[in-house]
Structure 1
Amino acid sequence: MSETTVIEASSPPAAELARLDARFPARSVPVQGGAVVSVRECGAGPAIVCLHGIGSGSASWLDTALLLEGEARLIAWDAPGYGASTPLAAQAPTAHDYAQRLQGLLDALDIQSCVLVGHSLGALMAASAARAGSPLASRISKLQLISPAAGYGAAGRAEAQARVRAERLGTLEQLGIAGMAAKRSGRLLSEHASETARQWVHWNMARLHEAGYRQAVELLCGADLQADLPPAMPVRVACGALDVVTTPEACAEVAKQCGVPLALLPDAGHASYVEQPAAVAALLREALAD
C-alpha cells in the first residue's frame, strides 16, 4: 500500500472535514515583523488560547472548542512552522522564541487576558510565556498544562537529548511526514479512542511541514520545562490516565513542581482533548469559573 493510500484511508469523513471548515475555520493573522500566525477560533466570551503538541495542529481542538462555544472564545494557533504560520528565524528556536510569537498574536488579537492551555510540546511554550518575569504573565489568568512535555535540555540529559534528536529526525528522513504519521499517530491514543479520533490525529500529523517539525524537535531537545515552573499565576496539570508518551508518573512530577495535584483523565491517552474532548472541556470550564 502506498503512503498516499494510507493517508486517504485514514482521513476523517468528508462531513467531518466540512464541519471543521464551517465551524472552526483557519485564518491568517499578521503579527509584528511581517510574520503571520494561522489560527482557528469559535465562540464568544473570555479567551482560551490553546497550543498544540509536536505532531498536531490547530484543527485538533475542534471538538473541545465547539463544546465551549457558548461560554468562551477558544483560539487555537498553528505553531510557527505549522499550518500557514511563518516559521521562526532560528534553526533551533527556544521556548522563549515561541512565547514571543505568541505575544505577537495576543497583541494582534488585542487579547489582554486569557486562560493559556499547553498540550505536550505546547506546554513548553506556554510555561515560558507564563514564567515569573515574562512580559506575558500579567495577561494569563490561568495556565492549564495537559500531558506536558518536560524537554531534554536540563543538565545531565545530554545523552537522552542526542538519542531523541537522532530518533525523531531519523524517522523523518527515513519515512517522510506521511510515513511518520502512519507510524506514530496511533501511539497518541488509547484503545478506547473512536475511529474518528484516530482519523483526526493521523490527519493532523500528516499535514506537518518538515521545516516546522525540525524546529519543534530542536525545542523538545533543548528546552527544560521545570526551569520555567512554577508559573506566575494559578496552574492546573492534567494527563490522560492511559498516556504512554508523557506518562501519568512523569506528569505527576510536573504537578508536584507546581504544588498542585495531577488531574487524571479516564480512558484517554496522550491526545486526550481529541479522544475525550468533553473531559478536557470540563477542565477548561473549571479554569474559567475559578
Structure 2
Amino acid sequence: MTWRQHVDRVPILKRPTRILDIGTGPLVICVSGVASTLTDWLLLATELSSDHRVIVYDRPGYAPDDRIRARPIHLRDEAARVHAIIDWARSTQPPGASTDVTLVGHSMGAYVCEAAARLAPGRIDAVVALDGSTLSEAGDDERLSHDRRSSLLAPVIRSKPVIAAWHILGSFAMWVGVRGRAEIWRRFPGTAAEFRAHSVLTATVRELLDFDRLADELATLRASHRHAPGLRAGVYPAASSWPSQDPGLAERLRTWRLGLWDEQAWIDAVLTEARTTSEEIDIDFSVISPSGHFVMIDQPAAVAHRVRQITGT
C-alpha cells in the first residue's frame, strides 16, 4: 500500500491528530508505546486490513510536525484520547458495519489500553497487549534511579547541541534501537525521516521520566475499576532467539533496567500480572518468538493471527 494515502489529520480532543485508517471490518485501534510512531504498525496494518478496519494514531509529540510535547502525561488523559478516537471511528463506520472495538497496545501502550478498558467498561470488546509493560518495570529498585535519570534526561529536551545532533542522527538512533525498522523503512519510503523530529525526542524523554508515575496510576485503576465481564483479552510477551537474532539496543536497555538477564524471568513477570487479571476476565496467553520487543514489526503475521483469534474473525 501507499501508506500516506491512508493517513489524515483528525481533530481529537481539540488537537490535530495524525491517524492511519485502512481496511474495513471490525475496528482495531493500535496504541504505541514510548519512542514509537504510527509507522511502526504499517506491517501489521497491512496484514490485518483485509478483514479489519485498522486505526493507528500518533500520541502527542510523535507525529513529525507535532508541537513539542514537554508536559507530563497521565493515563486518564491517554484513555480519554482512545475513547475520543473510538467515537470518531464509529461515527465514520459505514451503515451496518460492526461496532466491535479491539485495542492493541504495545509496550507502554498496553497501559493505555488497559486504562481505557477499565475506565469505560462495556465500550471496548477486546484488549491485546503486545509485550506490554508490567508494573514490575516500576519496582522499588527502579525508582531509586528516577532522580538520577531525571537529572540526566531532562536537560536533553533543552540542549541545542543535542537537538541539532538529533536532527541528523535521530533516524540512526531509532534504527539501532529497533533493528526491525529497516524492513519498514525499505518497504514504506519516507518513514525513516520521521524519527528526526525534535518532538519525537522530547516526547520520548518525557515519557521515560513519567513511566513510574504511570505505573502507579495503573495500579490505582486496577484496584478501583474492574474490567467489564466478557471483555476478551490477549497477553503476548515476546522472546528473541539469542544469539541467532540480535534483540537490539532497546531490548538490551529494558533488560538492563529491569535487572532481568534472561527472557524467562521477563515472561514470568508478564505471566504473573496476567494471572492476577485473569481473576476478573479470561485471558489468552502465549509467547511470540522469535521476536524483539517491537513484536508487531518482527512478527506481524503471528500478531495478526492472534488478533483474529481474539476478535473471532
TM-score (norm 1): 0.76
Distance (Å, rounded) in 2 between the aligned partners of 1:228 and 1:45: 31
The equivalent position to 2:207 in structure 1, one of 216, 237, 246, is: 216
**Deviation (angstroms), 1:94:** 0.8
Larger radius of gyration: 2
Partner of 1:126: 113
Q: Measured at CA, do residues 231 and 163 of structure 1 come closer, stay the same or move farther in structure 2, by a change above 3 Å?
A: farther
Partner of 2:4: 21
Partner of 1:182: 172
Q: Measured at CA, do residues 183 and 195 of structure 1 come closer, stay the same or move farther in structure 2, by a change above 3 Å?
A: closer
**Deviation (angstroms), 1:52:** 0.9
Partner of 1:95: 75
Partner of 1:65: 45
**SS, match of residue 117 in structure 1:** strand
**Does 2:124 match 1:143?**
no
Q: Could you tell me which amino acid in structure 2 is paired with residue 254 of structure 1? A: E
**What do residues 200-224 of structure 1 show as CA deviations (whole Å, max 9, x unaligned)?**
8965644461443344234423211
**Deviation (angstroms), 1:254:** 2.9
Q: How high is the sequence identity, in percent, across the aligned residues? A: 20
Distance (Å, rounded) in 1 between the aligned partners of 2:77 and 2:70: 9
Distance (Å, rounded) in 1 between the aligned partners of 2:181 and 2:146: 33
**Does 2:104 match 1:117?**
yes
Distance (Å, rounded) in 2 between the aligned partners of 1:142 and 1:113: 8
Partner of 1:13: none
Partner of 2:296: 273
Give structure 1 stretches of 5+ with no counterpart.
1-17
Partner of 1:238: 236
Contact 2:131 2:237 in 1 (8 A): yes
**Deviation (angstroms), 1:262:** 3.6
Contact 2:181 2:297 in 1 (8 A): no
Q: Could you tell me which amino acid in structure 2 is paired with residue 279 of structure 1? A: A
Distance (Å, rounded) in 2 between the aligned partners of 1:164 and 1:21: 37
Partner of 1:105: 85
**SS, match of residue 105 in structure 1:** helix
**SS, match of residue 240 in structure 1:** coil
Distance (Å, rounded) in 2 between the aligned partners of 1:240 and 1:61: 16
